[in-house]
Amino acid sequence: MARSDQAPAIGFLGLGSLGAPIARRLAAVGPVLAFDPDPARFDGLPSDIRPAPSPRAVGDGADIVFACLAAERHHRDALLGPAGLAHGRRRTIYVHLGTSGSLFVAELAAEMGRHGVETVDAPVTGGPPKARSGELTSIVSGEPACLSQVRDAIALYSRKVVAVDGAPGRAQTLKLVNNAIALVNLVAACEAMVVGARAGLPANAMLDVINNGSGQNSATLGKVPAHILPGSFDFGASLDVVIKDLELFLAEPAAADGALVDTCRSALEAYRRARSEGVEIDDLTAVVRPMERRAKAELRWS
């Protein structure tokens, strides 16, 4: 369905592995004014995703602006820097898609509010594959009136939208809870299945039992068979990103008691080890490679 002439104009910041497919979904119903510091990221995108020279220019031409950025410094520059979104003339709502932690998003929301911009906290889960298929799960928090204005746009790339009562930052906490479970599950699945591979068990038999038994989880259903067993390591999220996510989870105020999060700390060390030892492809699924090297056994299709 095309966006009506009366509908708010949409802008987008950050066309990486997650941002680009989300922007594609938004552009399916009308033009999207977008900025990315790397012009090559516009290659192959539909013509309805129109380049802007700066985040401020996006704010000059769009009412609602989505951003899918990585680090805090990228957000500060793109939103609040001299050529930042906050200085645009038209923008009224900012939608924060990234995983940045509750404290930082609350700070951003306060800063944007001083410039007359409302913030919707709307991180997503599902990764690049779900972004490409339009089946992400979105977690949203913020002013109800703002949520109602962005819900139709969010539905274009989400199969499910879960609202959390409260100010921006609340959705971040829930997103980090989800990420922590998924990332710990991947480490546990890799460790256990590498032990099985070392014992000579075929990977297909292991998965057949695990995915029809009590060991089933998101790693064994998706990441292991699709990205580890073929040896492709191409899920689409870098080790730096998942390390950042686990560090943010551990930094949440509710996780201040370290005794509550020992397992997550252990998983974080596994991802850090993969990064420090070096892997052929920088992907979260390559967390298995140091385990395989120690075991002298590879987890691959039989």
Q: Which amino acid is at 225?
A: P
- Convert the pLDDT of each residue in 278-294 to its tens digit: 999 999 999 999 999 99
Query: Residue 2: what pLDDT?
Result: 66
| CA distance linking residue 245 with residue 181, whole number of Å | 11
Question: In whole angstroms, what separates CA 121 from the centre of its chain?
Answer: 13
For the chain, which domains are there?
A: 10-167 (3.40.50.720), 173-295 (1.10.1040.10)
For the ranges 35-39, 70-74, 224-228, the lowest mean pLDDT is seen at: 70-74
Average pLDDT, the chain: 96
What number of helices (H) and strands (E) belong to the chain? Answer: 12, 9
In terms of DSSP bridges, do strands 158-163 and 49-51 run parallel, antiparallel, or are they unpaired? unpaired
